[in-house]
Structure 1
Amino acid sequence: MQSLQFAAPTSLAEAAALLGGSDNPKVLAGGTDLLVQMKLGLREPALVVDIKRIPELGEVSLGADGLRLGAAVPGAEVTANADIAALYPGFVEALGLIGSTQVQGRCSPGGNLCNSSPAADSVPAMIACGAQCNIYGPNGMRSVPVEAFNTGPGRNCLAADEILVSLEFPRPAARSADAYLRFIPRTEMDIAVAGAAVALTLDDAGVCTAARVAIGAVAPTALLVPAAAEALVGSKLDDAALAAVAEAASAAANPISDKRGTAEYRRKVVGVLARRAALIAQSRAQAEE
């Protein structure tokens, strides 16, 4: 068993230098994934870098351009913010599904993304909202869309000496809303068998003018499904459009079979969830009239 070192940098540059100087570093934000994995022997880092003392990672900013969330902002801080919930209800609901009340006080949307689980609840919701990742490394800042961040189960696009700094959500247009639904075997605190998120915009006549649809837990990473969004745009979410949304979501899925559900079952369920999430998002957008 290797020795474990701990560091708590106070700047992005210091954090990047620490990460780049170790053969096996891990970032600690809330620790709700990392500490469990270490206890189970799934992770044995040589260095744990606690990022909570870096100011940028704890900042929350909501303005005319949208929402900026530091990567270490706790889930409970986000879900308790009524202004954020009013603009991004689906994302806030998805984030609130992670773990227990105690976990909510420590977990973060940034950590949920960086853990790179295909079944992470907040990730499809972030994708549907069009969120971007701001990443810092030795060469400065770069930005990638959330749908491009994770590259496989437990894997993402971060280099060894890079750190996720924040997540940026564009401010929704008028008559816009989002929604997230998941299916789990139990009533709460379980891992999604399938999940779907929809964000859309309606015009004054109730016609969908823009949409984003994302699915989770049914592929190696959460997926943006352009074909499902195309089925919504130009419609009033009639039965034909909703059936096309479900079909596109199911077709995009590439699930596995395990003890919680077969691939065929997951493929079917994710289509049903996408259809229902679209209707919820539509109802919320209409309520803005």
Structure 2
Amino acid sequence: MYLPDFDYYAPPDLSEACRLLREFGSRAKILAGGTDLLHKMKHEEFTPEVIISLKNLSALREIRSEPGQDLLIGALATQNEIANSSLLQEKYRSISEAAWNMANNQIRHMGTIGGNIVNAVPSADLPPILIVLGARITLVSTEGERTVPLEEFFLGVHKTVIRDDEILTQVIVPAQTTTGSTYIRFGLRKSGALAIAGVAVAVTMEGEICRSARIVLAAAAPLPLRARQAEQVIVGQRVTPGLLEQAGLAAAQESRPRSSIRGSTEYRRDLIRVLTRRALHKAIQKEHI
């Protein structure tokens, strides 16, 4: 299949990219890694008149954090760069692990964290772990910039609060202290397979008592789903195997997965129950390390 005709721009800096996006508006699409956009263009799901490539904006590939400061991940950082980052492996291992378990090496080499977020697919692997860690994102346009909690960014499948003239430039993750976190996914044993279900967890423990918990489900609703009932089951309680099972059941009950060729609603709900229990157990173990 061939790509349709389009005009191509590769602006030298962010301000020019924003200017072009304002000029062309909904007629333009931003090109980051291209793993999703180019596929959809070949199948004529998208037929933009203009492509604005961000390939020259090297500053948007940075991954950095000063001691005690927030973590900043540029929107153009690839999934492989995130998976292999020594900073993330040391301080934010759950993010690097989530990136490492995504897709296959070829896709990870091209796909970016910004694309994984903006594409707004329910089965995306990075948004759940970022949400439980309290991440925010920066959106920039010719009018300035704004910061949005990632949890409030998604509206539905391929629907977000980003405007036609805005570019996602970075992900901000608060400095982590004693929180244990993890993301567990289940997919077909096939290279590049999407998650059938996934669960991200962040917990803070005080001895055997869970003082705080955040649980976000992937592929369980039209957008990353905060499992608040499951959180309420465990917070303030002494953690036992039975309590973890109760939390898993609560997460399954509040999930809204749809049936598809990759799994029925009932199958996915049972996966969510099991994955929630396992993710909580793993995050609690990490918190005690």
Kindly provide the CA deviation profile for residues 236-285 of structure 1, in whole angstroms up to 9, marking residues without a partner as x.
42134312321221122111111111112112211211111010111111
One-letter code aligned to 1:255: P
Tell me what 2:211 maps to: 209
Deviates more, 1:121-130 or 1:221-230: 221-230
Name the SS of the counterpart of 2:171 in structure 1.
strand
- 1:120 is matched with which residue: 121, 124, 128? 124
What aligned pairs does 1:62-77 form with structure 2 within 5 A after superposition?
62-63=65-66, 64-77=68-81
Identical amino acids, percent of aligned pairs: 32
- 2:185 is matched with which residue: 168, 172, 182? 182
One-letter code aligned to 2:265: A
Using the TM superposition, give the Cα deviation of residue 116 of structure 1 relative to its aligned residue in structure 2, in angstroms: 0.9
Tell me what 1:262 maps to: 264
Whole-Å Cα distance in 1 between the matches of residues 204 and 226 of structure 2? 17
Name the SS of the counterpart of 1:21 in structure 2.
helix
Whole-Å Cα distance in 2 between the matches of residues 227 and 73 of structure 1? 34
Kindly provide the CA deviation profile for residues 96-120 of structure 1, in whole angstroms up to 9, marking residues without a partner as x.
1222212222111111011111100
Whole-Å Cα distance in 1 between the matches of residues 234 and 7 of structure 2? 51
What aligned pairs does 1:61-210 form with structure 2 within 5 A after superposition?
61-63=64-66, 64-174=68-178, 176-186=179-189, 188-203=191-206, 205-210=207-212
Using the TM superposition, give the Cα deviation of residue 131 of structure 1 relative to its aligned residue in structure 2, in angstroms: 0.8
Whole-Å Cα distance in 2 between the matches of residues 104 and 129 of structure 1? 22
Is the contact between residue 157 and residue 222 of structure 2 (CA under 8 Å) also seen in structure 1? Answer: yes
Whole-Å Cα distance in 1 between the matches of residues 180 and 96 of structure 2? 12
- 1:228 is matched with which residue: 230, 241, 258? 230
Name the SS of the counterpart of 1:98 in structure 2.
coil
Is the contact between residue 91 and residue 125 of structure 1 (CA under 8 Å) also seen in structure 2? Answer: yes
**Length-normalised TM-score, structure 1:** 0.92
Whole-Å Cα distance in 2 between the matches of residues 230 and 283 of structure 1? 20
**Length-normalised TM-score, structure 2:** 0.92
Aligned residues, how many?
285
Using the TM superposition, give the Cα deviation of residue 227 of structure 1 relative to its aligned residue in structure 2, in angstroms: 2.3
Whole-Å Cα distance in 1 between the matches of residues 186 and 156 of structure 2? 21
Is the contact between residue 24 and residue 45 of structure 1 (CA under 8 Å) also seen in structure 2? Answer: yes
What aligned pairs does 1:18-57 form with structure 2 within 5 A after superposition?
18-22=20-24, 23-57=26-60
Is the contact between residue 206 and residue 286 of structure 1 (CA under 8 Å) also seen in structure 2? Answer: no
What root-mean-square deviation, in Å, do the aligned CA atoms of Structure 1 and Structure 2 show? 1.8
Tell me what 2:11 maps to: 9
Name the SS of the counterpart of 2:110 in structure 1.
coil
Name the SS of the counterpart of 2:199 in structure 1.
strand
Gaps of 5+ in 2: none
Name the SS of the counterpart of 1:69 in structure 2.
strand
Q: 1:84 to 1:142 in 2, by over 3 A?
A: same
Using the TM superposition, give the Cα deviation of residue 25 of structure 1 relative to its aligned residue in structure 2, in angstroms: 1.1
Whole-Å Cα distance in 1 between the matches of residues 90 and 203 of structure 2? 15
Is the contact between residue 4 and residue 41 of structure 2 (CA under 8 Å) also seen in structure 1? Answer: no
